[in-house]
């Protein structure tokens, strides 16, 4: 059971403009400090946005807006989130698919087992990226390039950060001293078929 230290949770907080109002969207990422020293949180979030999330944002609908990034060190159960206010819409013009549909990127890890598998759902899928039920060839190519950014470590000013899957069931994160269990990400895949996020399905309107 791989126990990790210096693990950070980064939350990308955004909104999706829907017919019935604004829907909040949260994408959560975990990284461990794999080399160097911890950067100031503002610097780290800025580099995450520039070197990772900006590539996600470029493939989402203009109806999606990134509003802030948050970070905390998971090792310390008492640490509060530090927030960096940012802004920017998705890079592809309307129209888009319904808000409960998503691009799905499964994560594979160095450690086997269901606790060491993850996936991200990116909502706000542009209609232009889809042909019938799947990504177009050009959209698939673009998302495969995004997957490389999600898979690879990124470097800030003083530290290098390796993406990990945090095994929440196996970890103890509520009180100090914590036990953080997780595994390094070795591959990020892209599902050609469009996924669903049922909890975000718009209520029936008549």
Write the pLDDT tens digit of every residue in 93-136. 999 999 999 999 999 999 999 999 999 999 999 999 999 999 99
Residue 177: strand, helix, or coil? coil
Q: What is the pLDDT of residue 204?
A: 54
Residue 181 lies in a domain: yes
Residue 206 lies in a domain: no
pLDDT category at 44 given cuts 50, 70, 90 is: very high
Higher local confidence (pLDDT), 56 or 202: 56
Query: Which residue matches tokens 């160095």?
Result: 110
Query: Could you tell me which of 143, 168, 193, 148 has the C-alpha nearest to residue 9?
Result: 168
Residue 205 lies in a domain: no
Residue 137 lies in a domain: yes
Query: Could you tell me which of 158, 188, 168 has the C-alpha nearest to residue 33?
Result: 158
Residue 168 is part of which domain span? 3-200
Residue 120 lies in a domain: yes
Cα dihedral angle (82, 85, 86, 90), rounded to 10 degrees? 90
Residue 96 lies in a domain: yes
Look at the chain and report how many structural domains it folds into. 1
**CB of 158 closer than 8 Å to CB of 38:** yes
Q: At 76, which helix (H) or strand (E)? A: none
Structure-block tokens of residue 137:
């060839």
Give the CA angle between residues 107, 36, 113 to the nearest 5°: 25
**CB of 119 closer than 8 Å to CB of 106:** yes
**CB of 16 closer than 8 Å to CB of 197:** no
For residue range 139-193, what is the model confidence (pLDDT) as tens digits? 999 999 999 999 999 999 999 999 999 999 999 999 999 999 999 999 999 999 9
Q: What is the pLDDT of residue 197?
A: 76
Residue 31 lies in a domain: yes
Residue 192 lies in a domain: yes
């Amino acid at each position: 059971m791989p126990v990790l230290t210096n693990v950070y949770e980064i939350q990308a907080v955004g909104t999706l403009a829907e017919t019935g109002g604004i829907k909040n969207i949260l994408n959560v990422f975990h990284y461990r400090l794999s080399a160097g020293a911890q950067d100031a949180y503002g610097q780290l979030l800025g580099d995450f946005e520039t070197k990772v999330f900006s590539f996600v944002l470029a493939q989402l609908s203009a109806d999606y807006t990134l509003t802030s990034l948050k970070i905390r060190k998971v090792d310390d159960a008492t640490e509060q989130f530090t927030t960096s206010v940012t802004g920017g819409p998705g890079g592809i013009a309307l129209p888009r698919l319904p808000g409960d549909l998503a691009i799905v990127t499964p994560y594979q890890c160095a450690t086997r087992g269901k606790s060491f598998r993850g996936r991200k759902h990116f909502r706000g899928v542009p209609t232009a990226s889809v042909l019938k039920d799947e990504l177009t060839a050009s959209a698939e190519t673009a998302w495969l390039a995004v997957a490389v950014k999600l898979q690879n470590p990124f470097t800030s000013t003083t530290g290098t950060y390796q993406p990990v899957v945090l095994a929440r069931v196996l970890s103890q994160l509520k009180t100090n001293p914590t036990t953080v269990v997780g595994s390094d990400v070795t591959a990020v895949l892209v599902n050609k078929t469009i996924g669903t996020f049922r909890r975000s399905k718009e209520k029936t309107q008549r």
